[in-house]
Structure 1
Amino acid sequence: MTELTAVRRSFSRAADRYAAAARLQRQVSDRLLDMLPPIAAGCVLDVGCGTGFASAGLRGRYPDALLLSADFSPAMLGAHAPMSDNARMCADAHALPLRDGSVDLIFSSLMLQWCDLSRALRECHRVLRPAAAMCFATVLDGTLREIDKAFATVDRARHTLPFLDEAAVAEALGAAGLVAHHVERSRQVEYFDDVRSLLQSNRDIGASRVPLHPRRATLGRAAWQSVCAEFEAQRTPLGIPLTYELAWVVAYRPGQGDPG
């Protein structure tokens, strides 16, 4: 099984639970919608649409546009919020089934961290028309740090993805031929009553799939107790924290009519 197939299966298994569990994901999507630039009627592409959090907001902002929603998980698309004029397609962000220069705006919220960022951004550059914008939110290095800290008590393997830092995201943008117009960074923390609910939340949004590692320990009773003890050591008056380092980016493909 390839890693891409494994990630797709993880999100497909989470599809029925995703909308109810993804509180932060909805908040990030709403914030990104507020950053979108005005465009004339054209083609708007939501890459990694999930269950369709952004569909109504995109339609409200661009009532005359062709709205395309793409996700590589058929189950996520099947759980998509219904919209009669919304075209959906099962597609990999590394190989979008669209013509060169055919898209007037790309929207992508909390999906690109699951991709080879350089490949995905090059593909977005390809399908964007010159001077068109790409607006995306992604997570950065330090996200889910509490999980790695807790599991470090039992082995030396990663238990989350190795997320990129802000400099690496900027480098990938430049290498793809995209120009950053506006970048914001913030930290958001969710709190949980107990360890099981924290880890279940991560599974419910499909984010628990990480590459296998030969040094990953078998989680027996003693190891589980050690993990729980470390999570409890991180507890605050609000609960056990889970941190997200977030970046919002508005970029564009250079061309006549570039934003100032």
Structure 2
Amino acid sequence: MYPQQIHQYVQQFFKETNCPIVYADDQVIQVQLTIDMDKKIMNRPFYWKYIESTDAEPNPALLTLVTNTNQLANNVRGEVLHFGSPRLSQLFQVTREMGSFVQMYEQVANDREPQLVLTPWLAVNYKVAYCSDQTKEMLYSLGMNLMTGQVVDGFHESLRVLKLDSTPPENAYPLPYIIKPLHALNRLDTQLDNFLLHEDHTWAEEAKQRWQKDCRVLAYFYEGVENKPESYAIEKEALDQQYAASIHVDIINGGLFYLK
């Protein structure tokens, strides 16, 4: 997940959770948390227990988040976000807890046609973790037209430029979908699996080479020992687990979008 994607995700997250963005540029987002969001992500239950028991005036946190350190001014201080960082993982978790599925309608002024037809799309955002002794995480966004079956990669980017709302605009007719969302989800899962199957897996081969190297080092320390102690088996199993290459896919969120 690139810094720009993180930046866009974080901005959208706080916009959707009604947290005012005090300042934002291409590298930094400063956001004033609401009371509810402070309770969810700041991990200070004793503070809120004190505030609520004494009726004191609450003071939700003001967060400064850095999404790109490459062009950051020297005097800017903030919490650095990157894929896999605790804070960003926390925002993903809050997104799942608050409801991972939405239904939205594109808001389009309709002065020319008697009725505006909106086409249903299923959008799914996946987090893919490439795990071995080193972990890399990526975000994939897929959308499927529920009338034609057309699949669009990077679908979240196309949604960002649209004006969306939870209620349809006046004189709009949302088409009933032909492809059921559950079937579409299965097809998107399969498409992502096929993509992951055919991409470059050099990282897994490199992890295997590092595992072999460490196994040789371990064997060297026990060289000449006919009956190896239990510690050898424990260390060998730990190496196997540490370097085992695997790919984990999680759905972050998704939604049904009716678009022009």
Global fold match (TM > 0.5): no
Larger radius of gyration: 2
Relative to the length of structure 2, the TM-score reads 0.26
Relative to the length of structure 1, the TM-score reads 0.26
